[in-house]
């Protein structure tokens, strides 16, 4: 028996299509929920470090009822004293692609040192340049900040404006922009 | 150029052909008659078996200027090969093309020729009458002159129907030049299938007959022997409560149904046997008892296992031979019945980690290709994911590699983190973590895979490199995992088809295609040369699918007469068989 040692006559390469046909089919993720919270203790997170995506002093009101927090406009916030707290606010992504707004407490001048807050700020800053995990260390009274030994790839940031993110995160009903807002009435015992 | 009618095709003659034949399972076919219609002239010629036997070549042009059209053409080619004829240069198999164009649709009348005709609204075909006539032909005669005439008329009615079908297909699905070339490549594969079916796989007939004649008695002995280590059979039947007791003694947590009963299906047993190797023999026993109530392997008097390979029958375009008649469909131990003929050798050549190579190349994920090209994609993933240091090896980081292997293979099938954890003996959180790392490291692949899934679920037609298609039709129950896995499987099937064509046309004798592998045979003193040539051609075939400069590795295992083929997964069962039957199956 002899086998052919020259190139086979069969050469289909001229009619190959190196694709699956799905290339033109694009999709886009619609983000309908954007939570406002600090990172979960199991979550690796990365902050979007851009001046257009940052509020240096956002006044947030937490009614402590298990519901979402309220964003209070500055004119109202000044009237509420200790009921609101100022936070730095910026978008962040988890490794599981959860987009959220991360509120990080601002340490006011003269405020009594609080290791929870200062380590929280350290984590917030560290997350601007890479993935981190923020994990409470109750024994020591502050957050441990973990970073991976190996560089993890940068996240794919969603193509959304910060205004749109805020709109989705707070809707209209979680922005306190008038004196008779139901959240204020609840706070003051009126609702 | 777009072809939408027969006369537009670039051929001087178009032959629509049907044949009738008979033959017992495992035997080569005996021709009965052949009818051919030349489509452009309308001429019809009918030939009975005695006329055919006197011909050294077909009574029509099969050269490069002519097109051969048939439905499930490998059947026609079984007649050609029985008559010692060459096979046509250009083949359009309407079955392959009908399957290709309707893959993913629900076909009310199936994908046989009658079903295809009904798909196009051609309904004047009596299926019952066809079945009756086919049964009559399978008796093998002798037939009276009137019966001969009826058989020829029947054969011609199929040719007439096929001519209408061919025109309807071109009209409904016009073919660009490239589509047509791809269709001809599929036709070329069908010719290769016919050669493989004709040749068959060499079987140790003596051992087979001994087992066949004593099968019932042997099964009892097999249960007694194997069950000694388990104690889960009672009077020849598997008892769940005894298995519960065994699991308790072994401290094995077995998956359960919502009702609380043990989940005893085949996949669960397979998964658990991988996790707990002590269950492997019990699994093989159950598989053997379930699938081999009797030995249905179809073997001819010449000791060759022959059965329909059923090309293009699965969604991925893979062959779908019978799991009871085809030797590679039986439990792993049965492969030891494969034995080279005297003075010959067999070689089993398979593409190594074919799916990973396809995923890497078609998605253009360089990191995944680098992992494949490293020679051990699993350890490379462990390194890339930070689980093992650079320079780690299969030996130095076995556990990490095993876990990564499960993840890498599992993602191709859309396996859940839970499933991966079960298979790799990992906690679900560890499996989730590894899965996340896979997504991080091979992001380009995941983006491509997501795109395929989204497009597939949306009803967009997906295709392989050489044009095998799938499209989810309305109302069809489609699953995400179908479109996740389809590009790898369907392109893998295509790679194997191209390899089979290349090998056969280079004069290498293929006995059978097996998923991502090919079994070849050659004289003992030439096997090394054939393996080298086959390896090179398989690598070339992989390059046609993967793109220039990228090839799959090919592994080869040679079995020389008088040894027999062995599959490690069935080794312990085979040794039981040998001890039961003694020297006869040594």
* A96 to B436: CB separation less than 8 angstroms, yes or no: yes
> Which of A18, A21, A154 to mutate: most B Cβ within 10 Å?
A21
What is the predicted pLDDT for the residue at B412?
Answer: 86
Per CB-CB distance under 8 Å, the chain A contacts of B471 are none
Q: Using 50, 70 and 90 to split pLDDT, how confident is the model at A2?
A: low
Q: Using 50, 70 and 90 to split pLDDT, how confident is the model at A145?
A: very high
What is the predicted pLDDT for the residue at B475?
Answer: 57
Interface of B with A in 409-468 (CB under 8 A): 436, 440, 443, 448, 450-452, 454-456, 458, 460-467
Rg (CA), chain B: 26
Nearest CA in chain B to A17: B465
Mean pLDDT to the nearest integer, A123-139: 95
CB B43 within 8 A of CB B13: no
CA-closest candidate to residue B362, choices A25, A10, A16, A13 = A16
What is the predicted pLDDT for the residue at B482?
Answer: 86
Nearest CA in chain B to A6: B506
CA distance B497 to B96: 13
CA distance A168 to A36: 10
Distance (Å) from the alpha carbon of B15 to chain A's nearest alpha carbon: 23
Interface of B with A in 181-240 (CB under 8 A): 181-182, 185, 188
User: Three-state secondary structure along B110-172?
Assistant: CCCHHHHHHHCCCCCCCHHHHHHHHHHHHCCCCCCHHHHHHHHHHHHHHHHHHHHHHHHHHHH
Neighbours of B491 (CB within 10 A): 28
| Sites in chain B below the pLDDT cut of 50 | none
Question: Six-digit token pair at A20?
Answer: 């699956």
Per CB-CB distance under 8 Å, the chain B contacts of A23 are 451
CA distance B531 to B520: 8
CA distance B509 to A121: 71
Supply the DSSP string of B329-364, one letter for each residue: GS-GGGGGGB-PPTTEEEEEEEETTHHHHHHHHHHT
A153 or B47: which carries more pLDDT confidence? B47
* Residue A174 DSSP one-character state: T
Per-residue pLDDT tens digits for A78-102: 888 788 999 999 999 998 889 999 9
What predicted TM-score, i.e. pTM, was given to this entire model? 0.86
Place of tokens 């086959």: B534
CA distance B164 to B38: 13
Helical ranges in B341-424 per DSSP H: 354-363, 366-373, 377-384, 398-413, 417-424
What is the predicted pLDDT for the residue at A172?
Answer: 81
Q: Using 50, 70 and 90 to split pLDDT, how confident is the model at A4?
A: low
Per CB-CB distance under 8 Å, the chain B contacts of A17 are 178, 463, 465-467
What is the predicted pLDDT for the residue at B124?
Answer: 76
* B450 to A27: CB separation less than 8 angstroms, yes or no: yes
Distance (Å) from the alpha carbon of A49 to chain B's nearest alpha carbon: 21
* B507 to A3: CB separation less than 8 angstroms, yes or no: yes
Q: A42 pLDDT exceeds 90?
A: no
> Which of A7, A16, A43, A156 to mutate: most B Cβ within 10 Å?
A16
Place of tokens 């902050």: A47
Nearest CB among A3, A10, A18 relative to B362 is that of A18
CA distance B417 to B423: 10
What is the predicted pLDDT for the residue at B477?
Answer: 60
* B505 to A15: CB separation less than 8 angstroms, yes or no: no
> H or E stretch including B216?
helix B215-227
CA distance B196 to B185: 17
- Phi/psi of residue A39, nearest 5 degrees: -60, 145
What is the predicted pLDDT for the residue at B290?
Answer: 85
B477 or A135: which carries more pLDDT confidence? A135
CA distance B92 to B183: 6
Per CB-CB distance under 8 Å, the chain B contacts of A20 are 362, 448, 452, 455, 462-464, 487
- In this prediction the ipTM stands at 0.76
Place of tokens 């017992």: B24
Q: A7 pLDDT exceeds 80?
A: no
Distance (Å) from the alpha carbon of B487 to chain A's nearest alpha carbon: 7
CB B517 within 8 A of CB B351: yes
> Which of B451, B496, B500, B509 to mutate: most A Cβ within 10 Å?
B451
CA distance B282 to B250: 14
Question: Six-digit token pair at B385?
Answer: 């994911």
Per CB-CB distance under 8 Å, the chain B contacts of A150 are 386
* Residue B237 DSSP one-character state: E
Nearest CB among B458, B523, B540 relative to A25 is that of B458
Size of interface A-B (CB pairs under 8 A): 99
Per-residue pLDDT tens digits for A8-37: 578 999 899 988 999 888 888 899 999 999
CA-closest candidate to residue B469, choices B48, B18, B101 = B101
Nearest CA in chain B to A2: B507
* A10 to B508: CB separation less than 8 angstroms, yes or no: no
CA-closest candidate to residue B243, choices B276, B292, B221 = B276
- Phi/psi of residue B297, nearest 5 degrees: -50, 130
CA distance B503 to A3: 9
Nearest CB among A8, A19, A148 relative to B502 is that of A8
* B451 to A17: CB separation less than 8 angstroms, yes or no: no
What is the predicted pLDDT for the residue at B569?
Answer: 85
β-pair type (B304-305, B509-514)? unpaired
Neighbours of B277 (CB within 10 A): 8
Mean pLDDT to the nearest integer, A130-147: 94
| Cα B167 versus chain centre, distance | 30
């Amino acid at each position: 028996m002899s086998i052919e040692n020259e190139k086979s006559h069969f050469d289909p390469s001229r009619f190959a299509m190196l694709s699956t046909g799905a290339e033109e089919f694009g999709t886009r993720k619609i983000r309908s929920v954007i939570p406002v919270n600090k990172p979960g203790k199991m979550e690796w997170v990365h902050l979007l470090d851009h001046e257009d995506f940052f509020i240096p002093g956002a006044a947030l009101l937490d009614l402590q009822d298990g519901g979402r927090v309220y964003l209070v406009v500055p004119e109202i916030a000044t009237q509420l004293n200790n009921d609101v707290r100022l936070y730095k606010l910026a978008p962040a992504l988890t490794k599981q692609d959860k987009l959220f707004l991360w509120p990080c407490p601002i340490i006011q001048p003269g405020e009594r040192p609080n290791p929870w807050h200062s380590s929280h700020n350290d984590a917030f800053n560290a997350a601007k340049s890479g993935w981190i995990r923020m994990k409470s260390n109750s024994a020591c009274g502050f957050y441990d900040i973990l970073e991976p030994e190996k560089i993890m790839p940068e996240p794919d940031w969603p193509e959304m404006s910060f205004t749109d993110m805020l709109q989705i995160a707070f809707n209209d009903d979680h922005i306190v922009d008038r004196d008779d807002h139901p959240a204020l009435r609840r706070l003051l015992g009126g609702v | 150029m777009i072809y939408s009618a027969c006369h537009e095709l670039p051929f001087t003659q178009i032959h629509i052909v049907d044949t009738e034949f008979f033959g017992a399972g495992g035997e080569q076919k005996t021709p009965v008659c052949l009818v051919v219609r030349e489509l452009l002239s309308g001429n019809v010629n009918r030939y009975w078996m005695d006329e055919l036997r006197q011909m050294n070549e077909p009574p029509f042009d099969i050269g490069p200027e002519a097109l051969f059209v048939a439905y499930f053409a490998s059947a026609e080619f079984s007649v050609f090969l029985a008559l010692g004829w060459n096979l046509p240069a250009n083949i359009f198999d309407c079955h392959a093309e009908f399957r290709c164009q309707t893959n993913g649709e629900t076909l009310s009348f199936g994908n046989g020729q009658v079903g295809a005709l009904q798909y196009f609204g051609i309904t004047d075909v009596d299926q019952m009458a066809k079945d009756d006539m086919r049964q009559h032909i399978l008796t093998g005669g002798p037939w009276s002159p009137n019966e001969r005439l009826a058989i020829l008329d029947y054969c011609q009615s199929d040719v007439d129907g096929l001519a209408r079908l061919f025109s309807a297909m071109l009209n409904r699905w016009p073919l660009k030049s490239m589509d047509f070339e791809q269709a001809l490549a599929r036709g070329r594969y069908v010719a290769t299938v016919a050669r493989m079916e004709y040749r068959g796989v060499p079987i140790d007939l003596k051992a087979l007959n001994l087992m066949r004649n004593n099968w019932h008695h042997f099964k009892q002995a097999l249960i007694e022997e194997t069950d000694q280590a388990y104690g889960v059979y009672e009077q020849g039947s598997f008892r769940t409560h005894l298995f519960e007791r065994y699991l308790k003694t072994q401290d094995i947590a077995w998956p359960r149904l919502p009702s609380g009963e043990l989940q005893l299906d085949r996949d669960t047993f397979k998964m658990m046997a991988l996790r707990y190797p002590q269950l492997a023999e019990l699994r093989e026993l159950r598989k053997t008892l379930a699938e081999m109530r009797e030995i249905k392997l179809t073997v001819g008097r010449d000791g060759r296992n022959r059965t329909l390979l059923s090309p293009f029958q699965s969604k991925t375009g893979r062959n779908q031979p019978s799991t009871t008649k085809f030797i590679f469909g039986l439990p792993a131990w049965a492969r030891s019945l494969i034995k080279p003929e005297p003075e010959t050798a067999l070689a089993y050549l398979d593409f190594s980690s074919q799916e990973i190579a396809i995923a890497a190349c078609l998605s253009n994920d360089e990191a995944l290709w680098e992992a494949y090209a490293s020679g051990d994609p699993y350890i490379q993933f462990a390194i890339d994911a930070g689980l093992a240091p650079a320079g780690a090896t299969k030996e130095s980081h076995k556990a990490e590699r095993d876990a990564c292997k499960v993840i890498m293979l599992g993602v191709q099938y859309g396996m859940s983190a839970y499933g991966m954890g079960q298979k790799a003996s990992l906690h679900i959180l560890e499996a989730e973590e590894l899965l996340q790392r896979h997504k991080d490291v091979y992001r380009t692949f995941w983006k491509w895979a997501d795109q395929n899934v989204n497009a597939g679920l949306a009803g967009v037609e997906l295709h392989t490199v050489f044009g095998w298609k799938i499209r989810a039709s309305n109302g069809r129950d489609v699953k995400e995992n179908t479109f996740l896995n389809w590009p790898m499987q369907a392109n893998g099937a295509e790679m194997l088809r191209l390899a089979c064509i290349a090998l056969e046309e280079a004069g290498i004798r293929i006995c059978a295609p097996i998923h991502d592998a090919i079994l070849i045979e050659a004289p003992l003193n030439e096997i090394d040369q054939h393996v080298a040539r086959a390896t090179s051609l398989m690598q070339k075939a992989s390059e046609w699918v993967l793109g220039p400069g990228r090839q799959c590795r090919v592994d080869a295992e040679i079995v020389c007469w008088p040894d027999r083929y062995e599959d490690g997964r069935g080794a312990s069962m085979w040794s039981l068989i040998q001890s039961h039957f003694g020297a006869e199956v040594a």
